[in-house]
């Protein structure tokens, strides 16, 4: 019997044996990878609801999966099921409906939506102006029992857990726009402490509805360059003016390397390191000095047992907001130094928009496929370089390269900074 | 690595008072809890007491950026940090990890009411909705709705910036928050955590969710375990509980005093069917509390009052806890949802630190899904 494989810190190595993805570009790795490396955009004019009166009228919605009538938890759940099925199917682990480990799933915070409020108001109507007392009267009719389940925060996770037969109490989490990365981090930690030999980690977000769009719009976070829609998301460009909301889901099967080897699984890559640091500067803005982002980047590289010089591609958070891209470039330059000017970095969000809760997981899948195929997806819409950001953003056209170590960044409202390091080889 | 874990700080606020001492006092008195029968009739809520927010959130600007559930949480988190002797210790707070169990939401009730009143009269309701939302919602309202912005506010107000994770999923989020913190410390993946949650029950939009499925107790107040024959149900309560949980070696090195030892946390979520809750809790009891000594022990139950599952949990306690005193935390401050389990653990730790008991078990029973248990013991 050979001795167990361990990383440089003596911990179990965390291999990736399954990947699944759904974005506005399509369902499945094959379609998504073809589109991502062809520089295609999934951003389009919104058709899900009327856009009259809105400043932003575009999004990278997933319209080919029907959740009718639209409601965020229903679409989020369905996308998670499909991404999960692809990942678990590829991993060939356990038996159908019997995944041998826990579920960590990043889900958008659920909330009742306007069609539901309107139905409750109608059911409770008493001829007077509508208040929440009217809605409560509607609730008492007993006609809306199914919606109770729909709008509990834990429902999507339990349904996904039941579908795949994951073990233990599934964890629903939110760390805003770094949620998908956090789900992977939780899985890595569980495997490293020997609690499990496999984990299903996912992020999903199908929450483009009028109020969610308007909320980001009121915070001036969204691009308003609606025409053409596919040109709106332009990370690192001088004329970037905000992010584009996106929808999608991604799933990653993590497995103790020795467990994967023992069952003869195909190894798709490794999660070598995770870094995390909170920011106390502001509710929506990052510390101007980039210190928390820097600490998260450094932490991930250190946790991977690597040095900054080892990183040969960065899958950027790259939201296309003026502030994020500047801060991210600053943070990377601080850690990777002069070398950062020549390290390729690209933003999948230029094509699939900002998939919010799912983004970290979606970008993990793209990072691992970059390593596997030796092809770096481009940052599209890069036509006006920002002289303040000296980066090789792999402009507009995919590039072939031998990529061994990828740093993937995720930053979010509420001072969330989570970075992951992926590799093709075990260390 | 298999480290000993201490609870070194508690912050609590609810209808039973401000601070853990007030809660223990209320527990000893055993009076019926505070109930607001009128504001949301026919629904009842346990309203939070007046909270001296300025003690923990000195900047009015910070208070204005938060809604009630966030203010309660930031307040309780600050109390826990104070109690642990970590307040203002920038170096340690910069490494302190956080797991927060949170829901979210909060609405502008007046705006919602106006839109819903107008909608049926409007020829183009969707366009009207866009227009009203664009002009009427406060941009900062979003920051009171996002689940992870309780953690974000704790970072801003108290400077906790190690790591920050927010778990969602009603009661079970509170159980798993403590379970993951415990597991990470035990395995040497982290040294110290701030763990807890917060809930504002005095909101018609949260009542609405549970009212749709008839989960709310609308009869005259009755203790949690005496509701079964009238259909069961819970009375939501406003409140928050936060704990500082540390590796004993780390706490000892900085001269911190333990309130109690956290021996184990377990959670599970088997599919609900008759008997599943009893089996789940009984299994956990066997794993983490088989040697529980009823003569020196106490139980803090997180039973909600929901029909069926409450009786199942009580049956396990009747079988397993012997003559030990069982406190149902819902009888003290109602159902706090996400923070219910952390609040139970906080009370158990406080009771142990007072020397009232040597051993404690805390249960959590999600009204719809998920069960949890924690085992604590007296230090020294």
**3-state DSSP assignment of residue B298:** strand
B70 and B172 inside one domain: yes
**A contact test, residue of B89, B110, B134, B148 with most A CBs within 10 A:** B148
Residue A2 maps to a domain: no
Q: A67 pLDDT exceeds 80?
A: yes
Beta-carbon contacts of residue B356 (< 8 Å; ≥ 6 apart): B298
Nearest CA in chain A to B90: A280
CA–CA distances in Å: residue B182 to residues A200, B373, B376: 21, 12, 12
CA distance A302 to chain B (A): 14
* Nearest-neighbour CA in chain B from A316: distance (Å): 20
Q: Which of B96, B118, B142 is the last residue of a domain?
A: B142
Do A140 and A273 lie in a common domain? no
* A157 → chain B, closest CA residue: B169
**B268 and B360, same domain (yes or no):** yes
Is residue A6 in a domain?
A: no
Residue B46 distance to chain A (closest CA, Å): 18
Cβ <8 Å between A217 and B134? yes
Same domain as A204, residue A161 = yes
Q: Would the CB atoms of A139 and B151 count as touching at under 8 Å?
A: no
Closest C-alpha to A20, from A32, A34, A37? A32
B145 sits in which H/E element? helix B141-145
Q: How far apart are CA B97 and CA A274, in angstroms?
A: 14
User: Is position A131 within any domain?
Assistant: yes
- Per the structure, the complete domain to which residue A408 belongs is given by 14-111+151-423
User: What pLDDT, on the 0 to 100 scale, is given for residue B248?
Assistant: 98
Does residue B274 share a domain with residue B255? yes
Contacts of B108 (CB under 8 A, 6+ apart): B136, B137, B138, B141
Same domain, A137 and A158: no
pLDDT in the model for residue B1? 67
Per-residue pLDDT band at A68 (split at 50, 70, 90): confident
Q: Kindly state whether B111 is in contact with chain A, defined as any CB-CB distance less than 8 angstroms.
A: no
- Is residue A314 domain-shared with residue A242, that is, in the same domain? yes
What is the domain-level CATH number for residue A274?
3.40.47.10
Is A75 inside a domain boundary? yes
Range of the domain at B121: 109-142
Chain A: residue nearest B146 by CA? A109
| Catalytic residue numbers of A, as ranges | 177, 317, 354
Smallest Cβ–Cβ distance between A416 and the set B141, B148, B370 belongs to B148
Is A368 among the domain residues? yes
B280 in the same domain as B238: yes
Give the pLDDT band of residue A2 (cuts 50, 70, 90): low
| Same domain, yes or no: B125 and B240 | no
Average pLDDT of the residues in A103-118: 96
For position B2, what pLDDT does the model report? Answer: 84
**Are A54 and A122 in the same domain?**
no
- Whether A118 and A23 map to the same domain: the answer is no
Do residues B162 and B193 both lie within one domain?
yes
Residue A427, pLDDT score: 77
Q: Supply the pLDDT for residue A166.
A: 98
User: What Rg do the C-alpha atoms of chain B give, in angstroms?
Assistant: 21
Instruction: Output the DSSP codes for A122-134.
Output: HHT--SS---HHH
The 3 state secondary structure assigned to A149-191 is HHCCCCHHHHHHHHHHCCCCCCEEEEECECHHHHHHHHHHHHH
Look at residues B126, B142, B158 and tell me which one is the last residue of a structural domain. B142
Residues in A touching B122 (Cβ below 8 Å): none
Closest residue to A175, CB basis, from B112, B139, B148: B148
User: Are A267 and A122 members of one domain?
Assistant: no
Judge whether B171 and B340 are in contact, CB under 8 Å. Answer: yes
Contact predicate B343/B355, CB 8 Å? no
Inter-chain residue contact A276 with B156, CB threshold 8 Å: no
Q: Does the pLDDT of residue A129 top 80, yes or no?
A: yes
A134/A184 same-domain check: no
| Residue from the list B98, B131, B152 with its beta carbon closest to the beta carbon of A413 | B152
Closest CB to B189 among A157, A193, A215: A193
Whether A300 and A273 have beta carbons less than 8 Å apart is answered as yes
Beta pairing class for B36-40 and B43-46: antiparallel
Q: How far, in Å, CA of B292 to CA of B360, rounded?
A: 8
φ, ψ of residue A240 in degrees (nearest 5): -65, 145
Which CATH number belongs to the domain containing residue B369 in this structure? 3.40.47.10
For the cut 60, the answer to whether the pLDDT of residue A1 exceeds it is no
Q: Are residues A25 and A120 in the same domain?
A: no
- Distance, CA of A134 to CA of B172 (rounded, Å): 31
Same domain, A290 and A389: yes
Domain-terminating residue out of A97, A132, A150: A150
Q: Which residues contact A233 (CB under 8 A, 6 or more apart)?
A: A41, A43, A60, A223, A243, A244, A320, A349, A350, A351, A353, A354, A380, A381
Question: What does the pLDDT read at residue B280?
Answer: 98
Q: Please indicate, yes or no, if residue A100 is contained in any of the structural domains.
A: yes
Number of domains in chain A: 2
The whole-angstrom distance between A276's CA and the closest CA on chain B is 6
Residues of A in contact with B104 (CB under 8 A): 109, 111, 153
- Compare CB distances from B213 to A145, A176, A278 and report the shortest one's residue: A145
Average pLDDT, chain B: 97
Mutation target among B113, B212, B231, B284 for the A interface, most CBs of A within 10 A: B212
Do B59 and B176 share a structural domain? Answer: yes
Which tokens go with A126? Answer: 């008493």
Same domain, B120 and B191: no
Q: Is residue A9 part of a domain?
A: no
B-chain CB neighbours of A296 within 8 Å are none
CB B296 within 8 A of CB B360: no
Q: What percent of chain A has pLDDT over 90?
A: 96
Is the residue at A34 inside a domain? Answer: yes
Examine the domain organization and report whether A155 and A145 are in the same domain.
no
DSSP conformation letters of B44-67? EEEPPPP--GGGT---HHHHHT--
* Angle of helix A132-139 versus helix B109-118 axis, rounded to 10: 70
Q: Would the ipTM clear 0.90, i.e. be above it?
A: yes
Give the residues of chain B that fall short of pLDDT 70.
1
Closest listed residue to residue A407, CA positions, set A346, A349, A353, A359: A346
Give the residue from B91, B126, B142 where a domain finishes.
Answer: B142
Examine the domain organization and report whether A107 and A118 are in the same domain.
no
Concatenate the DSSP letters of all residues of A50-105 into one string: --TT-S--EEB---SS--SS--HHHHHHHHHHHHHHHHHHHHT-SBTTB-SS-EEE
Quick one: CA dihedral A168, B146, A108, A332, positive or negative?
A: negative
């Amino acid at each position: 019997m050979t001795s167990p494989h361990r990383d440089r810190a003596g911990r179990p190595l965390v291999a990736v044996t399954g990947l699944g993805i759904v974005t506005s570009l399509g369902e499945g790795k094959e379609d998504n990878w073809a589109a991502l490396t062809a520089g295609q955009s999934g951003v389009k004019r919104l058709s899900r609801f009327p856009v009259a009166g809105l400043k932003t009228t575009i999004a990278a919605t997933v319209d080919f999966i029907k959740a009718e009538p639209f409601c965020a938890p229903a679409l989020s759940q369905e996308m998670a099921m499909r991404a999960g099925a692809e990942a678990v199917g590829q991993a060939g682990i356990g038996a159908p409906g019997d995944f041998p480990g826990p579920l960590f799933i990043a889900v958008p915070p659920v909330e009742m939506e306007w069609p539901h409020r309107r139905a409750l108001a109608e059911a409770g109507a008493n001829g007077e102006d509508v208040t929440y007392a009217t809605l409560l009267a509607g609730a008492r009719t007993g006609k809306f029992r199914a919606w109770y389940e729909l709008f509990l925060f834990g429902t999507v996770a339990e349904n996904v857990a039941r579908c795949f037969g994951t073990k233990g109490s599934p964890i629903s989490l939110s760390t805003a726009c770094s949620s998908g990365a956090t789900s992977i981090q939780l899985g890595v930690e569980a495997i490293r402490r020997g609690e499990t030999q496999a984990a299903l980690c996912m992020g999903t977000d199908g929450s483009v509805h009028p109020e969610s769009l308007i909320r980001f719009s009121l915070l001036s976070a969204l691009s308003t360059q609606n025409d053409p829609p596919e040109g709106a998301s332009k990370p690192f460009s001088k004329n970037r003016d905000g992010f584009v909301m996106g929808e999608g889901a991604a799933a990653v099967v993590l497995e103790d390397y020795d467990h994967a080897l023992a069952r003869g699984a195909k190894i798709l890559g490794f999660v070598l390191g995770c870094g995390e640091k909170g920011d106390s500067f502001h509710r929506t803005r990052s510390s101007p000095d980039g210190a928390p982002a820097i600490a998260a980047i450094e932490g991930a590289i250190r946790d991977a047992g690597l040095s900054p010089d080892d990183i040969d591609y960065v899958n950027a958070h790259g939201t296309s907001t003026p502030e994020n891209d500047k801060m991210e470039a600053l943070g990377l330059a601080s850690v990777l130094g002069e070398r950062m000017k020549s390290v390729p970095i690209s933003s999948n969000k230029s094509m699939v928009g900002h998939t919010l809760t799912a983004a970290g997981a979606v970008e993990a899948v793209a990072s691992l496929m970059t390593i596997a195929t030796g092809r770096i997806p481009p940052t599209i819409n890069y036509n006006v370089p920002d002289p303040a950001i000296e980066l090789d953003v792999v402009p507009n056209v995919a590039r072939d390269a031998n990529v061994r170590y990828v740093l993937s960044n995720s930053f979010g409202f509420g001072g969330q900074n989570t970075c992951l390091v992926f590799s093709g080889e075990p260390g | 690595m298999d480290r000993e874990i201490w609870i070194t700080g508690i912050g609590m606020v609810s209808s039973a008072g401000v601070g853990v001492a007030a809660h223990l006092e209320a527990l000893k008195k055993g009076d019926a809890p505070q109930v607001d029968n009128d504001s949301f009739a026919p629904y009842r809520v346990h309203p939070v007491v007046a909270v001296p927010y300025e003690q923990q959130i000195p900047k009015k600007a910070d208070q204005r950026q938060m809604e009630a559930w966030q203010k309660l949480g930031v307040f309780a988190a600050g109390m826990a940090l104070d109690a642990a002797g970590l307040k203002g210790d920038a170096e340690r707070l910069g490494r302190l990890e956080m797991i927060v169990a949170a829901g979210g939401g909060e609405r502008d009730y007046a705006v919602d009411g106006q839109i819903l009143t107008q909608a049926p009269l409007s020829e183009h309701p969707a366009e009207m909705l866009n227009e009203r939302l664009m002009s009427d919602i406060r941009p900062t309202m979003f920051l009171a709705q996002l689940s992870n912005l309780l953690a974000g506010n704790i970072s801003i107000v108290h400077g906790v910036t190690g790591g920050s994770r927010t778990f969602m999923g009603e009661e079970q989020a509170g159980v798993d928050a403590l379970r993951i913190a415990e597991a990470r410390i035990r395995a040497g993946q982290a040294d110290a955590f701030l763990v807890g949650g917060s809930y504002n029950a005095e909101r018609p939009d949260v009542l609405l969710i549970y009212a749709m499925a008839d989960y709310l107790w609308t009869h005259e107040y009755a203790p949690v375990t005496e509701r079964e024959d009238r259909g069961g149900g819970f009375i939501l309560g406003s409140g928050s509980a936060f704990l500082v949980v540390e590796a004993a070696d780390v706490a000892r090195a900085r001269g911190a005093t333990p309130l109690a030892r956290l021996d184990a946390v377990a959670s599970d979520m088997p599919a609900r069917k008759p008997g599943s809750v009893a089996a789940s809790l009984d299994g956990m009891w066997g794993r983490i509390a088989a040697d529980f000594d009823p003569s020196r022990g106490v139980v803090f139950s997180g039973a909600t009052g929901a029909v069926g599952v409450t009786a199942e949990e009580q049956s396990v306690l009747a079988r397993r806890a012997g003559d030990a005193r069982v406190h149902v935390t819902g009888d003290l401050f109602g159902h706090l949802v996400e923070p219910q389990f952390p609040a139970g653990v906080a009370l158990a730790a406080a009771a142990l630190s007072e020397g009232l008991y040597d051993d404690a078990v805390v249960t959590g029973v999600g009204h719809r899904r998920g069960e949890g248990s924690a085992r604590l013991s007296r230090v020294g």
